[in-house]
Every structure is written in C-alpha cells, then in structure tokens.
Structure 1
Amino acid sequence: MTAVHAEPCAARATSRVTKEDVRVALGAVLDPELDEPITDLGFVRSLEVTAGSDGAVVRLHLRLPTSFCSPNFAYLMASDSKDVITALKGVASVTVELDDHHDSDLINAGLAADAGYRGTFKHEAEDSLEELRWTFRRKAHTAAMERCLTELLRSDPDLLETDMGNVRLWDLPEGRNKEALLRRRTALGLPGGTNSIVLVNHEGHPYPAEAVPMALRRARSTRISIDGNAHFCRGLLRTRYDGSGADQTARPEGAEATPNHEQLPFTVKETHQ
C-alpha cells in the first residue's frame, strides 16, 4: 500500500496567493486626487510574493510621480495597499514601502509599526483620513455625473443642458460610465434606484431648473481637472522612471478608469494603538 503524503496546510494556503491575486487586490486602491487605481497609474514599482512557513510573504514597493507628492495622499495609498493585501486569505505578512519620497522614512516607519495616520504624522496630521476620503469621493462622484450626462448629450443632439436636471438613472446608456456612477453613489450613500435623478448635490438633492447649467459646468470643470491631473502625473512618472509607461493602463478618452475595482470602506487606522 502506497502512503499518501498530504501537503502541509501552510503550503497549500501559500500556493493560492499569487502576484496576480495581489495585483487584483491593489486595483481597489485609488489615488484619491486622480480617482484611478494605482495599478493603472503605474505606481507599483515592484511586487514580490514568496512562501513562508505560515503563508505568503508579500513585499511591495510603491513609487510616485514626484518626491513632493502630498504626504496625505502618499500615506493613504500605501496604507490602503497594505490593508487590501493583508485581507487576502493565505497572506502571512506584508511589507509596503514608499520609495523616493521626501517623507518615505516617516511613512515607511509608520506602516511597519501600524501606527495609523495620526500616529505617523503626529502634530502634522491636521485632518483625519476619513475627511480626506470624503472630500475626494465627492469630487469623484461629481466627475462621474458629468461623464454620464455629457455622454448622453453627445448621443442625442436634440437634448439641451437645461434638460439634464430631469435625467434619471434609467435614462443613462449602459456601460462603464454608468456603472462607475452607481459605485460612486453607493460610496456616498446616495440612492441608486433607476428613477433617481442623476444631477444632484453632495446631499443627494436635485438642482432647481435655473441652476442646472451652472451645476453641469462646475461638474465639467471638476472632471477636466481630475483627468488633466491624471494625464500630467502619468507623464511625470514616465519622465522620472524609465520604462514605467509599460506599467500604465490608459483611460479611454471621456471614459471612467478601469472598472474592476470596488470602493474601499471608510475603515482607517487613525491613532497608534
């Protein structure tokens, strides 16, 4: 009778965690200002996944377009990266390091100690990360509204800007822009029923008819700013790091970024435990 040797549990768990698994998880981590996944932007510099005795050992290095990118944003992306990797079943340990930033040492030490945002920056942490997330999710929602309504205007030459105040979710063409808008509404706690008005303020209230054109123009300004900054930062990264362009995924003109990511919840480590 031939003995059957079972594979150790730790080895089986580790074998299920691959670099692709980690990259997919990182697709949920967004640059808060650019509203795009760090994997699309090329911010992942290197990723290693090795087998440890208790599970997968993951080591991630991140890079940014400049050394003076906002420390708030840098910490948020690095911390979110560590959180989504840690949440993967079969991962035993995670090391996330930010390279070539003026606050790299501070941020990396805070991440290693799980010190949280305020525990890392101490007196310099004026605002909470939750407030930062809310600010940029509102901007992302505004841009998503504009993309959908502009797509609708372009599809029907008889429509006017003044008509956009009455557009409901069921009027929008199906596609990645509408899907993105629904995700943004969910993240802000706004209704997602098909009869819901599309053009609303941050509290979910529609605009009076006379205010619709100005609201749409302001939304367009927000969307152009986000898209312009994303284009600019992509170029800076390619200039700073040779070959980094190969790691970037271009966003189709006028379209939402890669749609396979979910919004991260507002679970933020704010203080040192």
Structure 2
Amino acid sequence: MSALWDALGTVMDPELDQPVTELGFVSEAVVVDGHARVRLRLPTYFCAPNFAYLMVADAHEAVSALPSVTSVDVRLADHFAAEEINAGVAASAGFAGSFPGEAVAELDELRLVFQRKAYLASLDRLCVRLPGSPVGLTLADVPASPALVSLMRRRAALGLPCSSESPLLLDERGVPITAEEAPLRLRFARSVRVSIEGNAGFCRGLLHTRYPQAVGN
C-alpha cells in the first residue's frame, strides 16, 4: 500500500501543481494479489476533461510501473466524461482517441504550459526565501532546501539546465533573466504562484463540500 500511495504521490494535478494524494483526489487505492485498484474523484462534476484525463492517465502509468503490480484498474468517478476517460486510458487510446470527433490533438502542449507555470511558481518560492537578491546567483550559490529540490525537479521536467554553475534566474524557456529584467519577471512569477495556490485552496474547498469525508492536506 505504501508503494502504491507513493506512486500516486508522483501524479500531479496539472493546473494546481500538487499531488493528487495531497489534494484528496484519491478515494481508493489498494493492491490485492498484484491487481491495483485506484479510484479518483474531482472537486466538481464538470472539471475540465483534459485535466481529468491527464491525471487518470498519469496515475495509470505510475501504478503500472510498480514491480509488484501485474494489472491495473484506474478509474475516475462522478465526472461527466468519466466513461470516455476511463475507457480511453484503459485502451491507451490517448486523449484524441478517447473523444473521437471532439478532440483533435493530444495534450502535450497543455502539459507544457502548466509545467512552465509550476516552474515559475517554484522559482518565486525559492527566491523569497533567499537573504539577498537572486540576481547573479548560480545554483551552487543557493543553500540546500526543499524549495531548491522542488525547483530542480521542475527544471529537469522542462529540460532546463541543472548543473551547479547554471544561473538561478532562468525564465520558463531556459533563457537567463538579466538584472534589468529581474524585477518584472520575478513579479510575474509571484503572480503565477499566488494564482496556483489560490486555485488549489478553492478546489480543496469544493472537494470537501462535495465529499465531506475527503482527506487532503
């Protein structure tokens, strides 16, 4: 159970940049004789199907990678597109294949947009904890902390430089942020973080209204 929960902990809500386990989106997760059964729920019946699909697909992939798991049943419940999403993920049909005639493309671009937002939010979380200006610092200049670990994980996901001599201040495309640009770029990063955290709080409230027994940190 611990390994299963840890695997699901790697699955992020793409918009909120938080694990589905911490958000309370996992209502059931068990493994019996190698068969993993996972049930997901979302704050509203009409949560965006593209976000929902990403979470179900990512959960299926994460659980399937466990050595102790031989078969996987991951399903979304209480959602208007649950039938299409569950069937599409089980058949590895992709988002477009799950919604034939409606979706015309996969979700790689959407995922990239939210990965970039998550990176900017993590950059702000780190910079506000530094004792001085972040301008001119390299990664080697930044003290070890959970915020740094979070930033490095998001850099790696985007393929941004992670070596110790790399500049701390890179934009979401990996371009160094100059001293002149830094105030404006960092204000933008802060606005992204505040928006993500505000949306996460709102969704937690909706989830607890819909499922009073939901447990989320």
Matched residue type, 1:168: T
Residues in 2 aligned to 1:110 and 1:203: alpha-carbon distance in whole angstroms: 32
Please state how far the C-alpha of 1:218 moved relative to its aligned partner: 0.3
More contact order relative to length (CA 8 Å, sep ≥ 6): 1
CA contact (8 A) 1:165 1:206 kept: no
Structure 1 residues 48 and 207: alpha-carbon distance in aligned structure 2, compared to 1, 3 A threshold: closer
Aligned counterpart for 2:19 among listed residues 18, 22, 37: 37
Please state how far the C-alpha of 1:127 moved relative to its aligned partner: 3.8
Please state how far the C-alpha of 1:209 moved relative to its aligned partner: 2.3
**Structure 2 residue 114 is the aligned partner of structure 1 residue 136:** yes
TM alignment of 1:165-176, pairs within 5 A:
165-176=135-146
Hey, which bits of structure 1, 4+ residues long, moved more than 4 A?
none
Matched residue type, 2:101: H
| Per-residue Cα deviation, 1:34-82 (whole angstroms, up to 9, x for no partner) | 111111111001123212xxxx111111000111111011011001111
Residues in 1 aligned to 2:26 and 2:56: alpha-carbon distance in whole angstroms: 10
Please state how far the C-alpha of 1:229 moved relative to its aligned partner: 0.7
Residues in 2 aligned to 1:22 and 1:138: alpha-carbon distance in whole angstroms: 28
**Structure 2 residue 27 is the aligned partner of structure 1 residue 27:** no
Partner residue of 2:162?
A: 192
Partner-residue secondary structure (3-state), 1:77: helix
Partner-residue secondary structure (3-state), 2:78: coil
Matched residue type, 2:28: S
CA contact (8 A) 2:137 2:167 kept: yes
**Structure 2 residue 17 is the aligned partner of structure 1 residue 49:** no
Please state how far the C-alpha of 1:184 moved relative to its aligned partner: 1.0
**Structure 2 residue 91 is the aligned partner of structure 1 residue 123:** no
Please state how far the C-alpha of 1:83 moved relative to its aligned partner: 1.0
Show structure 1 runs of 5+ residues with no match: 1-18, 250-273
CA contact (8 A) 2:4 2:30 kept: no
TM-score by length of 2: 0.94
Please state how far the C-alpha of 1:195 moved relative to its aligned partner: 2.2
CA contact (8 A) 2:94 2:106 kept: no
Q: How many residues align?
A: 217
TM alignment of 1:60-209, pairs within 5 A:
60-152=38-130, 156=131, 159=132, 163-209=133-179
User: Structure 1 vs Structure 2: percent identity of aligned residues?
Assistant: 47
CA contact (8 A) 1:148 1:172 kept: no
Matched residue type, 1:32: P
CA contact (8 A) 2:127 2:134 kept: yes
Partner-residue secondary structure (3-state), 2:183: helix
Please state how far the C-alpha of 1:165 moved relative to its aligned partner: 2.7
TM-score by length of 1: 0.76
CA contact (8 A) 2:88 2:98 kept: yes
Partner-residue secondary structure (3-state), 1:210: coil
Residues in 2 aligned to 1:59 and 1:205: alpha-carbon distance in whole angstroms: 43
Show structure 2 runs of 5+ residues with no match: none
Matched residue type, 2:195: S
Residues in 2 aligned to 1:188 and 1:28: alpha-carbon distance in whole angstroms: 16
Partner-residue secondary structure (3-state), 1:164: coil
| Per-residue Cα deviation, 1:190-224 (whole angstroms, up to 9, x for no partner) | 11122221121223222232221100000000011
Residues in 1 aligned to 2:69 and 2:156: alpha-carbon distance in whole angstroms: 29
CA contact (8 A) 1:44 1:62 kept: yes
| Per-residue Cα deviation, 1:130-184 (whole angstroms, up to 9, x for no partner) | 21221111111111111111111xxx3xx3xxx4331221232211100111111
Cα RMSD, aligned residues only:
1.4
